[in-house]
Structure 1
Amino acid sequence: MVTDFPVPDGYRVLESDTVLAVLAGNSELTAVLGGAPSAWSAREVSDGNMNRVFLVEGPSGGVAAKQALPWIRVVEDWKFPVSRIDYEVAALRQMATFAPGRVPEVLAYEPALGLAVLELLAPHIVLREGLVAGKIYPNLADQAGDFLSFSLYRGSDFALDTETKKALVARFAGNAHLCATTEDVVFTGPYHAAPLNRWTSPQLDDDVRALRGDTDAKLAAAELKRRFRTATESLIHGDLHTGSFMVTETDTRAIDFEWALYGPMGFDAGALIGNLLLAWISQAGHAEERGEDRRPVTDWLEQAIPTLWERFTAGFLDLGERENEGGQFPAELFSESAPIKGALRRFLDHVWRDAVGFAGAKMIRRIVGISHVADFEAINDPDLRAGRERIALRLARSMIVERDLYPDPVTLVRAARAVMR
């Protein structure tokens, strides 16, 4: 295992004061912030596992400054490549052309510092934070579905000619350490005694022992790992959970693209669906502990999953009709759109099957792996928390082992509703 990675010449870890000095040297950023640097303020708002993030505000506006550390922010002994910020910037710039209006703009990039300066999303909050608080986002499913359809279709062979697609695959192939980390923490780590695994103990001890002895689950996870390692269907976010969206009631933006790679489309769709299922399953725990009525939230989440998929598939099919330039369906062979749409529908059935499995794998790793989610962690009573986690764990196990039981989102939602009774 690689434990050290090259650090750019001149790299240094920035603090709230030193990040201001860096931004002051960029005339485009000074124009955004306005006034003199002495009138600016910076505060660290890092809340993810990976990086440091500063919000910088001036008389005229604000920016978000994100620095990749030579380690994982919450585990300093775990060395990690600063180069991940390069892939994030490349992905954001590419996604700005694929899915305009659904990602923050890159305002500046300082490779030597591993620093990306991004459009400040305000008054947006992290989607997971809103879901834990019991908020409803009426436009989320449609707008996230649009992001998936535009990003996944336009990054694929359906839209790109061979030379362009292969060049993009090569551009993101160097993000291999993050790919290997995903393989380990999603498809391998939860199924054995990995050092950093944790779970609600002793309540889930028997469940964890059962999972580690479950040959069918381990074989299913291994097959999903093979799909993740070998499929290069589109440019994917690579970690598209509910912490990877900033939202208001009217706007949805995808953030945190450092895990970007060319991979299976179902991985992004499945990651989001799996995390929405975790949010849905957790609501009863929050309701009981806080004495709140969460039925409007659970009703909305129940509808959000099929709506998300319907919006994604409709957008994908529409793009297939309007932007068929990749050479997959050459005009010499296809003069009408109906056969193309039929082929795309069959392809989307395959993406859905992948998404179900990847969703289940993502759910499992968030319950018994190394990185958990506030959806459950914010439930303070361990017995109450474990009860909700056990429901999610059993549904997720079925989703990876028995994917054919869930041929469409309505069936999946029906099964989720049944296990929560």
Structure 2
Amino acid sequence: MSNTVPAGYTPLNSESLPQYLHGKLPSDLELGGEPNQWTVSEVGDGNLNLVFIVQGLAKTIVVKQALPYVRAAGESWQLSLTRAFFEYNVLNIEAEVAGHDLVPQVYFYDQDMAIFAMEYLADHIILRKELIAGQTFSGLGEDVGLFLAKTLFNTSDLGMDAAEKKALVSKFAVNHELCKITEDLIFTEPYYDAERNNWNSPELDEDVRKVWNDEEMIQVAMRYKYKFMTEAQALLHGDLHSGSIMVTDTDTKVIDPEFGFMGPMAFDIGNYIGNLLMAYFSRPGWETDEAACRESQEYLLQQVSVTWEVFVSHFTELWNEKQQGEAYPTEIYQNGLGERALKAAQHEFFTTLFEDTLVNAGLEMNRRIIGFAGVADFKQIESPELRGECQRRALKLARELIVNAKNYRDVATVAQLAQSC
């Protein structure tokens, strides 16, 4: 993948997009009416891309175009257009292994314009907004746990043909620019006085300085940065948080996998759980009624538990029934040593994965509170003092998860720790 801008590339806008789409949409995708009858709205509120909703007389779609720079930072932060290629391909692979029940459908991709069109989720709302509003969703934990199990197992050496797995590693190895952003923003910059850091100052100044001088925690962060850079376990979403999930009362869809690459499974799981925990600590900033606040927090801790339990249960089921995958081969376990040995191997696997998940959750919390890209859960709390109080509790938990993850063997003990903070 080249970092250069193709000769035919130009950023589109609400006026130019309809005519472009008229010549690009697949013949079986009819929006209805002529391009001049379509309604186009630019709705991108993320850090990187242009996002349009295109409404025809019969059908509505979403169109996403990469810019040759980071949108949130401006043209001074140049970035390759190839991220559109990775997002398109990750969405297709996720749909193949997890199904369109959990991933939106993609209609076409144009490499020269760094653009693709996908299903419009008309009734869905970004999960983060709903959690801030105190909404609950009964099937959320089950859906996310299932998504994680299916995508991580089926793109790993546990469940994938070895040659195909290595080809997948090669395909996504060139997504190095977005990996570098992750390496910097999550694993490096929160741990020193980096220019892009953006914390709640002066309320957290003392807390941030403590982080920068915490050798024990920083050493763990550096160890996990190395794991992130070197462990190609499975195809990751790469940026799985409550802003990358859209929900209704009955449905969950995972979106925005442009940071996708082959990496350690615990990174995706930990990122999502870390965001649930930040939502937990932010609740006093959004809910003044103590009983309602506790109820909302209990729901969020329940989601952590259900997500992990469903992930482990379905991942184990896939493992028990697998027909391919060179890791823990069936010849040795299903047909040789037997069920007892397989369960012992799985127990060891999930014990390590849970520890790594907790560390990654803590790193995500530190990053969102100290680093460049914060979360609305905290940032939109009006009172800086109250915001700082909520964030300080989250930082306390983050440190414990990073430094002492091995002391917590199940979600119940993590929930107790969160409550104690």
Query: Which aligned pairs between 1:3-402 and structure 2 lie closer than 5 A?
Result: 5-28=3-26, 31-76=29-74, 77-100=76-99, 101-288=101-288, 293-334=292-333, 335=335, 336-402=338-404
> Would the alpha carbon gap of residues 26 and 342 (structure 1) be closer, same or farther in structure 2, given more than 3 Å must change?
same
Instruction: Compute the displacement of 1:29 (Å).
Output: 6.6
Once the two structures are superposed, what CA deviation does each residue of 1:145-204 show, in whole Å capped at 9, x if it has no partner?
000000000010011111000000000000011111111110110011111111111111
8 A Cα contact 1:29 1:107, kept in partner: no
Cα distance, 1:417–1:10 mapped onto 2, change above 3 Å: same
Deviations 1:58-91 (A, max 9, x none): 1111110001100111111211111011011111
Name the CA distance, whole Å, in 2 between partners of 1:29 and 1:367.
47
Offset from partner CA, 1:116-166 (integer Å, 9 cap, x none): 101111210111111111111111100000000000000100111110000
User: What is the distance in 2 between the residues matched to 1:356 and 1:66?
Assistant: 33
User: Percent same amino acid among aligned pairs?
Assistant: 39
Q: What TM-score results when the alignment is normalised by the length of structure 2?
A: 0.95
Shift of the alpha carbon at 1:344? 2.2
SS of residue paired to 1:112: coil
Superimposed CA distance per residue, residues 353-401 of structure 1 (whole angstroms, 9 cap, x where no aligned partner): 1110000000001001111000001100000000000000111011111
Unaligned runs of 5+ in 2: none
Which residue type is aligned with residue 90 of structure 1? N
What is the alpha-carbon root mean square deviation over aligned residues? 1.6
- Which stretch shows the higher mean deviation, 308-317 or 115-124? 115-124
**How many angstroms does 1:291 deviate by?**
9.3
Q: Secondary structure at the match of 1:273?
A: helix
C-alpha distance in structure 1 between counterparts of 2:330 and 2:195, whole Å? 54
Distance 1:59 1:332, change over 3 A: same
Q: How many residues of Structure 1 are paired with residues of Structure 2 in the alignment?
A: 415
Q: Which has the higher mean CA deviation after the structures are superposed, 335-344 or 299-308?
A: 335-344
Amino acid across the alignment from 1:8: P
For 1:406 and 1:32, the matched residues in 2 are separated by 53
- Once the two structures are superposed, residues 285-323 of structure 1 have per-residue CA deviations (whole angstroms, 9 ceiling, x without a partner) of 1113x9993333222112111111000000000001122
Moved more, 398-407 or 314-323: 398-407
3-state secondary structure, aligned to 1:332? coil
* 8 A contact 1:286–1:292 mirrored in 2: no
CA contact (8 A) 2:360 2:402 kept: yes
Report deviation, 1:329. Answer: 3.4
Q: Distance in 2 between the 1:337 and 1:20 partners?
A: 58
8 A Cα contact 1:23 1:29, kept in partner? no
